[in-house]
Amino acid sequence: MSNQKLVSLSLAVFPILAFAGWIILGAILGFDNGPHEPQSYITALGANSDAVKIIFPIITLFFIIVIGGLGFISNSMEGGSGHFMARFGFLLMVIAAPGFVTEGGLQMGAAEAASLGSLQTAQTLFAAGGAIGALATALMFIGFLVIGLGILKQKNFHVIIAAVMVIAGIFTTAICVIDYSNQLIVIGYVGFCLATSALGISLLRSAE
């Protein structure tokens, strides 16, 4: 299998799997127990700490794989009018990646602390994870929208895909700045998953 086909499949499949992971985690914790309700969310994390410690690393890995796939996209644009923007956007996403890993680790730590009855420690870890996550997510989606702008400029993928990238990037960054715990952030992630999957499918078709 060529690198292009491997990346294409990764971009087409892993965003959907990551989103499915969030839905599964939400179902386990209870969709009403989101980060917008810190006390009930931390309690739910503690009650389901084993599931949290399995699902969070998997979802994080899936997103890192997707970021790597976007790096392949930016490299494929070399020499084109949107290459610089795509490369810069990818760089921002790479910088954001450690923040995602850290946020996931702190969420897992909060779950473990809550399961042991150390609610104050769990609250501290949750708050730290939220602060880091807001910054990392905003940075990632800024990079995502910049890659979208590069694609719009170079026109190497369908304009609708690039437009979804830009809109999702602007929307999610705004949510991160205003209120990272707002459940509307899921709309940005839907846009992210749809756009990256569409990129993978388009890339796969061009490889055939």
CA–CA distance, 73 with 63 (Å, rounded to integer): 15
Helical spans, DSSP H, in 77-184: 83-115, 119-154, 159-179
> How many domains does the chain divide into?
1
Q: What tens digit of pLDDT does each residue of 120-164 get?
A: 999 999 999 999 999 999 999 999 999 999 999 999 899 999 999
Q: Are 100 and 136 in contact (CB under 8 A)?
A: yes
pTM: 0.91
Using a CB cutoff of 8 Å and minimum separation of 24, what contacts does 171-176 make?
172/137, 172/138, 172/141, 173/138, 173/141, 173/142, 173/145, 176/134, 176/135, 176/137, 176/138, 176/141
Domain that holds residue 86: 3-207
Residue 5 is predicted with a pLDDT of: 85
CA–CA distance, 41 with 28 (Å, rounded to integer): 11
CA–CA distance, 186 with 197 (Å, rounded to integer): 16
